[in-house]
Structures are given as C-alpha cells and as structure tokens.
Chains A and B, each alone.
Chain A
Amino acid sequence: MAFKYLPTRLREHPNWFLAGLLCLGLLVALTRIPSGSPEIGASLADSSLRSLPRQLFASFLRMLTAYGGSLLFAITIGTLAATSQKRERLLLPLVDILQSVPILGFFPTAIFWFVALGGPHWGVEMAAIFLIFTSQSWNIVFGVYDGIRSVPPEASEALRSLGVGPLALFRRLYLPACFGRIIDNSILSWSNGWYFLMACEIIALGPVSYRLPGIGSFLADTIEHSAWVNLSAGVAALALLIVVLDILVWKPLGVLALRYRFESTKSNLSVSRSGAALLSLYMNGWGFAPIRSLLGSIHHVWVRVESALEKPSENGYQKTTGWRFTQPLLMGFFWLVLVVGAVYAIIGLFHALFMPWSLTASTIASAVGLSFLRIVAAYIFCLLWILPFVYWVHRNSNSVRLVKSVSQILASIPATAFFPIITVVVLKIFHVTELAVLILLVTGMVWYLLFNILGGSDAIPNDIREAASSLGVKGGLYARKIYLPAIAPALVTGSITAFGGGWNALIISEYFKQGSETHSVFGIGSILAKATYENGDSRLMSLSLFFMVGFIMMFNRAFWQPVYRYVERRFRLDA
C-alpha cells in the first residue's frame, strides 16, 4: 500500500455544478432498488484446506478482471481529462466526487442491478467485480491525468509539428509519460482491491445471503468454525500471493517505468536488483516469447487502427473519414448520458427530499457528525504513535529499511481479513462495541498515514540533516524546526487519504456480524448498512449517501484544501 492519489494540478474553473448533478443522477439510479428480492445463488461454504488454492485463484481472477476494467477506464478518462480543458472541467470534479463516495454503500444495490442483468450466479460475480473496480479506478485516473499534464509542452508540440495525429500522440508520448504513475498507482489499487474483496465475497442482504468462492469467503468460514489452522494457512497463502505478485510483476514493471521518466535529474531512486534481473529475463528469455509476441501483436493491431484513422498527408495530420464520423457520434453519446443523468438527478432529488421523511432520516445529520468524530478519534490515535515512531526511525537511519519492509508486508495483507479476529478479541476482553469499531476504523486509516509520513521523513535532504548535526541541533529543537516542518506536506496528504479511507471503512466498521450476532453503533455507516442489508430502503440510502458525500466534499473544500495549499507553499523542500 502506498499513497492514495491527490491531483497536484487542478486547472481553473472546474464545473462543479454539472459534475455534481451527474453524480446525483448516478446515486439515485444506483440506489433505486427494484421491488422484490433477487434470486441469488448461494454456493456452499467450503473451508477445507484442499479448496484453498482454488478459492485463492478465484479471488485472484476476480481482482484481475476488475483491474483490467479499471486500467481501461482510468487511461481513457485520465487521457480525455488531461488533453482538453473543456473535458477536464467536467471530468476532474466528477472523479473527485466519485472517489469520495464510500464504495460499499453502493454494493447491495449493485447486486440487484447486476443480478437482473446477468442472472443469479454471474450477477453476483459481476457486482463483486464492479465493487473492486470502483475501489481501484480513481487513483489511476488521477495518476494518468497528472502524468500527461506533466509532459513538457515542447514535447507534444514537437510531435504535432511532425504531423503526428492524436492517437499516435497518445501511443508515442502520453502513454509512456504516465506509465510510471500507472504502475505506482496500480500497486495501490491492488491493495485497495484486496481490502474490499474481503468485504464483498460474503454479504447478507436481508433474508438472502450469498457467498462467492474465494479467499474472503474461505477466511470468514474458517473463523466461523474456529478452524485456526486453516485460517492461518489462508492468511499465509494470501500474503504469499501478494508478495509473489510484488516480486514477479510490480518490481520488474517499476524498473521498466524508470526508462520512461521525463525528469532527467538524478534522484535517489533505487533500482530493485531482483526487478531489473527479472525484467531482462522477461525481455530476452525464450520462455517468455509467447507473451512478447502477444504484446507485439496487440501493438500491431493498435498501429493498424491508428493508421486507418489517421492518414498521414503532406500537410501533416488530417481528420480522416473515420474520425469525421466517430467523433460526433461519441460526442452525441456523451451529451445523451449527460442530459439523461441530469434529468434523473433532478427527479430523484425531488423524490427524495419532498416526500415525508422516515424517522431515521431525521437523524442522518447527527449520525454523520458522530461518525466524523469517530474518524477524528481514530485519526488522533494513529498520529499519537506514528509521529514519534517515524521520528525515531528517522533519527536511527539504519532501521529505515527494516521498518519499511516489515510495514509493507503487514500493510499488504488486507485488514478486512482480520476484522473477525479483531472483533472477537476486543469484544471478549473489553465488551465495548465502540472500541471495536474504533479499532476497525484505525485499520482502514493507519497505513495511509504511516507510509506518507515515512516517505516525507525520507525525503529530508542529506545536507540539511548534516547542517543540523553540524550546528548541534538535536532533540526537541530538531523535531520542532526540521522534522515536523519537513514532513508537513506528507502529513497533510496522508491525513486527507486516511480520512478517505476512514469514511470508506465506516460501513463495515459501524455494523458488523460476528457469528449469528449483529453488532452496530449509531452512525452514518450503520444507518447505511441497515438501510441496505436489513430493509432495502432506497430513499434512506440515497439520502444518507447524499449527506455523507456532501459532508465529505465540504470538509475537503473548506478544511483540507486550504491546509494543503498552505503547507505545500510554506514547507516545500526546494530552496
């Protein structure tokens, strides 16, 4: 797990109104539950060790499918937003709103929709993939956007003056330019995906419950049956898969990404040696020839399509007939979606606001407030130990590597896998549900803070550390004048992302099942969970999502954004 993504550059005048309206339409559409409960195929629980590899593989396939979708979606949207100011004004705020929507809130209704679409078995499968997709996409969108926007203008001008058309420009310049950020964010997306995969393989919807074969179901089953050996085997297998993926896929791709860096300055980027070795094996080893030729033919097809659409002529790039037809078609479709979404949103808003409210609906505001306080409490708890801990790591520089690799391994195992264990232990010892909720929230927030602050302390230049020791600056003076200001930007980035993680974790933290018992505390997460899992009240769902997202957006605009701007300006390390 690394950092959640923050866009560094937002151009002027984002179209919040239209974007908000579109999101509202989406929200209303997604929370409109069709009458009658869906027929869901419930597969049998299987927590035998023999089934473990199969279940792990099923989860992996689910993740892979969702990731493929996210990648396609993110590259398309990110490129569209980064290459036109008009599109950017709509798309960026849209993605910004969508990324602050707690994913799990949509999940139960997504099941209804997909079951209607794909039948009992595949519908549930598609819903799970959709949920994972939404947890993986947004940060990659911002990564792609930021990567393309950081291309020096001369580079694209040079290519365009050579007569290169938009598709070729994308292949030759934009895609390579954001490749590194795609890889960085993909790693993050995968850990996000694992986190939510655990939560979506088993869900009870009112009277119906279902389980998909997968590692999430496997772990939940072993806990239900107190099969501790199988449980540890499951967690170990999952951790192993994640570590293997990291070594075999992400490390080599990370090395490959170094080639496409635009910045020519030598920085303290360390090249992973195993990654470099594996990369050259993939590039040259005969065993990998089929994969290479597959990628080669994909590239070939792309080039063919490109040259069909973009005929080079003597006066440089000209729109071909293909483009002349497809472009208005795409634009028309885009506007159709826009208008339908907006109309839907307005109708939905009236419907939700002007009908008599249920009793629970009037408590939404105080529920949001209480849940917010819970997140703040969990946040303060995290900071109280992370700040001194990272300070200690920073001052004992030989421990940095160890701490980093240990926490990376810990963070790679999705905390949701441990939720049942945490709740059992906390409730057994303290008998306080509130405490269990807080600890669950902490697991959803802590890594964002830890890794951002570790990264920030790592970025303190060596000569500043030397100047400090040469002057005899240490202890409290060092912490006050050097450590805290230097990590301030990373601390704020970490805080923003940790709050996002916290809001997301609310729905699975404030309301959880343990065995046959349901535990819940009053808060927006539990209102949302009850509305969806217990009585399918779509109006209550859309109202609570509306208020929750509204509150998150307002808090981000009114608090985090000014703080972020100030800290970025004041504590940048580039003097």
Chain B
Amino acid sequence: MLKREDVLMELKHIHKTFLQKKTEYTVLEDINLQIYQGEFLAIVGPSGGGKSTLLRIINGLADATSGEILYKGQKQSGINMECGMVFQAFALLPWLTVLENIELGLQARDIPENQSRKKANYYIDKVGLDGHEEAYPRELSGGMKQRVGFARALAIEPEMLLMDEPFSALDPLTSANLREEVLDIWNDPHLRINTIVMITHLIEEAVEMADRVIVLAAKPGRILKEVVIDLPRPRNKNSEAFQNYVGEIFALIT
C-alpha cells in the first residue's frame, strides 16, 4: 500500500510564529514531515493547533518563518501549482456560475477556452454536478457547493489534493457520502491526482480515510506521533481494530 521510497514532498524544520500585540506566538514548532506519492495523509489535532496554517504552508499560501519545503527534491517557493485546495467554507465566488467557478484555475493556466470547457465538464460529471453547470453557488445546497469546491481543485489536474476540514460544514449524511466519493476519486486510475493531505478535527474521519495520521499537539503545534492505519478498505467503523486506532489517537490528543 505505501511505497515509502517515493517522497513527493518533504517539510524540513518548519517553524511558524505570529506577532500579536508585541508578543510572539509559536504556531508551528519544528515540523518535519514526508509526504509520499500516492498516500492519503490525515493531520489531526485540537482546534487552534496550527493545522490549517500547516496546510497553507504546504500550498504556499503562507510562508514559514523558518525551514524549507522540498517538492520532488526541489526547494519550493511561492504557490505550488501542483496542489489543488479544498476549503472548509467552500470559498466559491458567488457571482460566477458553477462552470465558471471551476474554469477559474484553468484560465489562470492560460488553457484555451474549448479545452478548459471540456475539462471543467469532465470534472462536473466526476463529482456528480451534471445539470447544475449554469447554477450560481447560492442556489446549491452545502453538499453541492463542496462538490464545486472539489471539481475546481481537481480541474487543474494537480498531483496533490489538499483538504482543509472539507466535510465539517456539511450535515452527517452528506459528508458520509462525500467521503466515499473522495476515496473513489483518490483510487481512480484515470485521474492524475493520487496524493491527498486532509486536515480534520474528527479522529474517526481520519482513521476511516487515511493511510497515515499525523497527530499534532497545540500551543505550540508540533508533531506528537505518526499513526499508520493498517486496515483494509472499505473500513468497518464498528470493528475493534478501528476503535483501537481511534482510542489511541484520542488518548494522544487529550
């Protein structure tokens, strides 16, 4: 399942501090992490623990105070264009239709219009949004909005998908469905994307989906432990092994 030899991204001694009211706060302390090609990595931790900041540093949306990131052995600076990001509150543009929202990243890559239209439509089908191409985000339910978020991130055909608590704004049933579909996308051999990094505060969600769970401590955020989830898929939430993993991580955080 895990081919440890193919390191896609490597984080070396990442520190992040914020200056607030003349006091320095350490958000992330000495994060060392390797992300492997093809894995599903989950990062869990208490809220306010710097999880989101870490994901933003991986994408290049935020700069680390010190430390460096290697992507395929190359030092990364600025936005990593091989990453697609899915946001907790969707971050869709309300004045663009579903199709236009999804095409946005393609236009930024100067892809000709007929091609970008084709690609966008392909991913609209993939995430089950067909028939909603011309709808505006505010006409959609939360689950449908997040599908637009996924399609937008997938349409730029990234190698790595970054997800910032992608299911936490959705109701339980919708998020369960969407979780399954994300796993299908991850396993789809026709898609370029094969690596996923997901931030979550739900331990069960992490154990259900990920190959490997990184447990962060809060204040300052640092890696407590790495837990490899060695369970066959689809995973049975009620199995004893599953619950043991959940219990182990829960004990680490609290």
Does any Cβ of B come within 8 Å of A473's Cβ?
Answer: yes
Question: A474 to chain B: which residues have CB within 8 Å?
Answer: 108
Q: Contacts A469-B61, A470-B79, A472-B109 known; A570 to B56 CB distance under 8 Å?
A: no
| Complex Cα gap A473–B110 (Å) | 10
- Per-position contact with A for B73-98: 1 when CB-CB < 8 Å, else 0? 00000010101110111111111100
Contact indicator A575/B94 (Cβ below 8 Å): yes
| B84 CB, min distance to chain A CBs, angstroms | 8
Question: A571 to chain B: which residues have CB within 8 Å?
Answer: 94-95
Binds B, one of A114-122, A384-392, A460-468, A553-561: A460-468
Q: Which of the residues B88, B108, B136 comes within 8 Å of A575, measured between beta carbons? A: B136
- Per-position contact with B for A451-484: 1 when CB-CB < 8 Å, else 0? 0000000000101101111111110010001100
Q: Contacts A469-B61, A469-B79 known; A463 to B105 CB distance under 8 Å?
A: no
Does any Cβ of B come within 8 Å of A166's Cβ?
Answer: no
Question: A477 to chain B: which residues have CB within 8 Å?
Answer: 104, 107-108
| Complex Cα gap A473–B100 (Å) | 13
Question: B145 to chain A: which residues have CB within 8 Å?
Answer: 575
Instruction: Indicate the member of A464, A471, A481, A485 with the most B CB atoms within 10 Å.
Output: A471
Question: A470 to chain B: which residues have CB within 8 Å?
Answer: 59, 61, 79, 83-85
Q: Contacts A466-B56, A466-B61, A575-B145 known; A461 to B91 CB distance under 8 Å?
A: yes
| Complex Cα gap A360–B81 (Å) | 67
| B95 (CB) vs chain A CBs: closest residue | A485
Interface of A is mostly: helix
Contact indicator A473/B94 (Cβ below 8 Å): no
| B66 CB, min distance to chain A CBs, angstroms | 20
Question: B138 to chain A: which residues have CB within 8 Å?
Answer: 572, 574-575
Does any Cβ of A come within 8 Å of B152's Cβ?
Answer: yes
Does any Cβ of B come within 8 Å of A573's Cβ?
Answer: yes
| B47 CB, min distance to chain A CBs, angstroms | 14
Does any Cβ of A come within 8 Å of B137's Cβ?
Answer: yes
| Complex Cα gap A466–B57 (Å) | 12
Does any Cβ of A come within 8 Å of B156's Cβ?
Answer: yes
Question: A485 to chain B: which residues have CB within 8 Å?
Answer: 93, 95
Instruction: Indicate the member of B79, B93, B138 with the most A CB atoms within 10 Å.
Output: B93
Question: A570 to chain B: which residues have CB within 8 Å?
Answer: 95
| A477 CB, min distance to chain B CBs, angstroms | 6
Contact indicator A481/B85 (Cβ below 8 Å): no
Question: B100 to chain A: which residues have CB within 8 Å?
Answer: 481
| A158 CB, min distance to chain B CBs, angstroms | 30
Contact indicator B93/A481 (Cβ below 8 Å): yes
| B91 CB, min distance to chain A CBs, angstroms | 4
- Per-position contact with B for A533-575: 1 when CB-CB < 8 Å, else 0? 0000000000000000000000000000000000000111111
Interface residues of B in 113-168 (CB under 8 A from A): 136-138, 145, 152, 156
Question: B156 to chain A: which residues have CB within 8 Å?
Answer: 471-472
Contact indicator B85/A466 (Cβ below 8 Å): yes
Question: B94 to chain A: which residues have CB within 8 Å?
Answer: 571-575
| B81 CB, min distance to chain A CBs, angstroms | 6
Contact indicator A471/B95 (Cβ below 8 Å): no
Question: B91 to chain A: which residues have CB within 8 Å?
Answer: 461, 463-464, 466-467
Question: B81 to chain A: which residues have CB within 8 Å?
Answer: 472
| B222 CB, min distance to chain A CBs, angstroms | 24
Q: Contacts A481-B93, A482-B93, A575-B145 known; A471 to B104 CB distance under 8 Å?
A: yes
Question: A466 to chain B: which residues have CB within 8 Å?
Answer: 56, 61, 85, 87, 91
| Complex Cα gap A466–B156 (Å) | 16
| A484 (CB) vs chain B CBs: closest residue | B95
Instruction: Indicate the member of A469, A485, A573, A575 with the most B CB atoms within 10 Å.
Output: A575
Contact indicator A473/B85 (Cβ below 8 Å): no
Question: B93 to chain A: which residues have CB within 8 Å?
Answer: 464, 481-482, 485, 575
Contact indicator A471/B136 (Cβ below 8 Å): no
Question: A575 to chain B: which residues have CB within 8 Å?
Answer: 90, 92-94, 136-138, 145
- Per-position contact with A for B201-213: 1 when CB-CB < 8 Å, else 0? 0000000000000
| A482 (CB) vs chain B CBs: closest residue | B93
Q: Contacts A466-B56, A485-B93, A485-B95 known; A473 to B61 CB distance under 8 Å?
A: no
| Complex Cα gap A470–B154 (Å) | 12
Q: Contacts A464-B93, A575-B137 known; A471 to B87 CB distance under 8 Å?
A: no
Instruction: Indicate the member of B61, B83, B84 with the most A CB atoms within 10 Å.
Output: B61
- Per-position contact with B for A357-374: 1 when CB-CB < 8 Å, else 0? 000000000000000000
Contact indicator A472/B96 (Cβ below 8 Å): no
Question: A482 to chain B: which residues have CB within 8 Å?
Answer: 93
Contact indicator A472/B105 (Cβ below 8 Å): yes
| Complex Cα gap A463–B169 (Å) | 14
| Complex Cα gap A468–B145 (Å) | 17
| A35 CB, min distance to chain B CBs, angstroms | 60
| A564 CB, min distance to chain B CBs, angstroms | 16
13 A-B contacts, Cβ less than 8 Å apart?
A: A463-B87, A464-B93, A466-B87, A468-B104, A470-B85, A471-B105, A473-B105, A473-B107, A474-B108, A481-B107, A482-B93, A572-B94, A575-B94
Which 9 pairs, one residue from A and one from B, show the smallest C-beta to C-beta distance?
Answer: A575-B94, A471-B105, A575-B137, A467-B91, A463-B91, A470-B85, A472-B108, A473-B108, A575-B138
Tell me the B residues contacting A by CB distance below 8 Å. Answer: 56, 59, 61, 79, 81, 83-85, 87-96, 100, 104-105, 107-109, 136-138, 145, 152, 156
20 new A-B contacts at CB < 8 Å, known A470-B84, A575-B145: A461-B91, A463-B88, A463-B89, A466-B85, A470-B83, A471-B104, A473-B105, A473-B107, A473-B108, A477-B104, A481-B96, A481-B107, A485-B95, A571-B94, A571-B95, A572-B94, A572-B138, A575-B94, A575-B136, A575-B137
